[in-house]
A and B are shown apart, each in its own frame.
Chain A
Amino acid sequence: MNKTVPVLKSKNLQVIRGGALILDVPFLSVTEGEILSLIGPNGAGKTTLLQVLSQLIPFSRGDVYFKGQIIGSNHSVIQYRRKLAMVFQEPLLFDTTVVENVASGLRIRGIKRSEIRDIAAAQLARFGISHLADRSAKTLSGGEAQRTSLARAFATRPEILFLDEPFASLDPPARESIIDDLERVIRETGTTTVMATHDRLEAIRLSDRIAVMNGGKIVQAGAPEEVMNHPADEWVASFVGTETILPGKVAEKNGSALFISAFGRSVEAAGEAVPGEDVVLCIRPENVTLSECGPASATSARNVFRGTVEKIIPSGAFYKVRIDCGFPLAAYVTRNAIDDLSLREGMPVTASFKATAIHVIRRKLK
């Protein structure tokens, strides 16, 4: 797999509708075999960008390149579309059998009947739906239908796979198993993939790179860890799940250690800023440790604050604990931790976090 060749590239893409600029992406590049996720809230422009990149809708300005060639100019749109596949949130199956659906892209390409049969059978097996081959697509469950849609997409051996919120309408068990299978197939085939999702956990799990979108623009792009732990601004920080976002001012700098005044408390963080500079502190809830109030416990954390539990909120496998430490702070804890610490609302607690667990955003440089 050559990770350096841009299979897909776009320059100065703009979509203007009703006089409003709804998509503005100066540059985007996806290398061969890469999985890029576009994340952002509803209306961020993820779907529009996918549809423009796949040349399914017209755009006002810019160019899309496939392997260095401009689509529509020196590479025909139909030929380009025949090198990609698209899976939408709704399976959008045809009113025929499952196997006929899987074969539909091949029929459109005029592939020989015998070849179609073999390819369709292989894809049905790959997605575990061989037993549904002769069933009417209209009788499938949501998960089965989306598997059929994925099998149809892979049947044409696409060079680029576009996924538009493909798991959003599935129930959790179906979703888990389809994500597992899709991840396996993408890795096996090395298919370059661009996926739009509003679920950051899906994006982290599947992607090599994440692009965060807001208001039709890509506001940050990078490796999942980079985006999650070093958000470019407060909005990105909030969107990627940074629960504690505090405005502060650098009081002192000692090497790479910054002493920041926030809400009248001194917080030690690692980062680049100068004394007197306005900054924003981002602390992810999973980086905050809670312990009982009492004699100072042994911790390597540079920041230890006493506070009061304000609220305990079930949050999937974890519980989110909101603490008032003179500033609002959030921590994720397990059910066991809640029992061990006998955590309840209104009780005092000690919260600690490392200086390196804080991401410092320089306000002036924004």
Chain B
Amino acid sequence: MDIILEGIKQAFHLLITFDPEVMGITLLSLQISGTATFISLFIGISGGTAVALSNFPGRKLVVSLINTGMGLPPVVVGLFVTIFLWRNGPLGFLEILYTPTAMIIAQAIIATPIVMGITLAAMQQLPKKLRLQILALGATRVQMVWILIREAKLPLLAAVMAGFGGVISEVGASIMVGGNIKGYSRVLTTATVMETSRGNFDIAIALGIILLLFAYFINLVLTQIQQRERPR
């Protein structure tokens, strides 16, 4: 019990004093997970919308693959990204293994199916005749897709939350492709794992609390937007 209390005390001390190392780790976490989420939104919303609005042979297979991808284990992603970026791997010439870029790639791979799956479900939930109504209003195909995305904005905010939540909290892939290098690729989750293994529970708790607070505040903001958009 003392360990926990001491950990919480230490956590607040680190936070209040803006400990440079903790702040650096936090900022890097936000940069990596934010960028990965942004990339996953771009690919996931486009892909999910395209699959939702089209009809092609093998569509069911694609949908089932997307749904499977929503539960992609981060360590498996980490393993394959590592293999691809390994010195002798297919993309080894890029020389980005154990860099934040590799972590962004891995996290984007984890978040994309989540965003795509939620987008797909959100688009399919819209009445089919809505597309015809939009076209009948004189919209081009691009205008129609944009209006549909706007109509699905509430579930799409859920996609943002799920995507960001998925990557800010994942540790397996980040540690495998980032290497947890101090001041370079160390993020909140990898640092928490390391400090715990060293027995530095106070710092681990501090990092854990920061992680929780971030996840909470970002989701709070998105929830506020989502609830404000709900019909009065």
* CB-defined contacts of A105 to chain B, threshold 8 Å: 137-138
Q: In chain B between 119 and 157, which residues have their CB closer than 8 angstroms to a CB of chain A? A: 127, 129-130, 132-133, 135-140, 143, 147, 150-151, 153-154
- How many of chain A's residues have a CB under 8 angstroms from any CB in B? 27
Chain B residues with CB below 8 A from A192, complex form = none
0 or 1 for each of A324-339: is its CB under 8 Å from B? (1 = yes):
0000000000000000
For A85, A108, A109, which residue has the most chain B Cβ atoms within 10 angstroms? A108
> Across the interface, do B231 and A138 meet the contact criterion of CB distance under 8 Å?
yes
* B232 part of interface (Cβ distance < 8 Å): yes
Q: Is the CB of B136 within 8 A of A86?
A: yes
Are A86's CB and B133's CB within 8 A?
yes
Flag whether A92 is at the interface (Cβ < 8 A).
Answer: yes
Measured between beta carbons, the chain A residues less than 8 angstroms from B154 are: 95
| A263 is an interface residue with CB less than 8 A from chain B | no
Are A108 and B129 in touch, CB under 8 angstroms? no
Take A88-B129, A92-B129 as given contacts and tell me if A54 and B136 are in contact as well, using a CB distance cutoff of 8 Å. Answer: yes
**In the complex, how many angstroms separate the beta carbon of A89 from the nearest chain B beta carbon?**
9
Select one of B135, B136, B140, B231 contacting A95, CB under 8 A. B231
Distance A45 CA – B105 CA, assembled complex (angstroms) = 51
* Smallest CB gap from A51: residue in B: B132
How far does the Cβ of B156 sit from chain A's closest Cβ, in whole Å? 12
Residue of A94, A135, A139, A162 near B136 (CB, 8 A) is: A162
Main SS at interface, chain A: mixed
CB < 8 Å: which of B135, B138, B140 contacts A156? Answer: B138
Least distance between B226 CB and chain A CB atoms (Å): 12
* A81–B129 touching, CB < 8 Å: no
Against A, the Cβ 8 Å flags (1 = close, 0 = not) of B71-108 are 00000000000000000000000000000000000000
| B137 cross-chain contacts in A, Cβ below 8 A | 81, 85, 104-105, 108, 152, 156
Q: Which B residues, 188 to 232, have Cβ-Cβ distances below 8 Å to chain A?
A: 229, 231-232
Residue of B nearest to A138 (CB): B231
Residues A94 and B147 in contact, CB atoms below 8 Å apart: yes
The 9 A-B pairs at the shortest CB distance, nearest first, are namely: A138-B231, A86-B136, A82-B138, A136-B231, A105-B137, A92-B133, A56-B132, A108-B139, A81-B138
24 A-B residue pairs with CB within 8 Å: A51-B132, A56-B136, A81-B137, A84-B136, A85-B136, A86-B132, A86-B133, A86-B136, A88-B132, A92-B129, A92-B130, A94-B147, A94-B151, A95-B153, A108-B138, A108-B143, A135-B232, A136-B231, A136-B232, A137-B231, A138-B231, A139-B231, A139-B232, A162-B136
Q: Contact residues of A with B, CB < 8 Å?
A: 51, 54, 56-57, 78, 81-82, 84-86, 88, 90, 92, 94-95, 104-105, 108-109, 135-139, 152, 156, 162
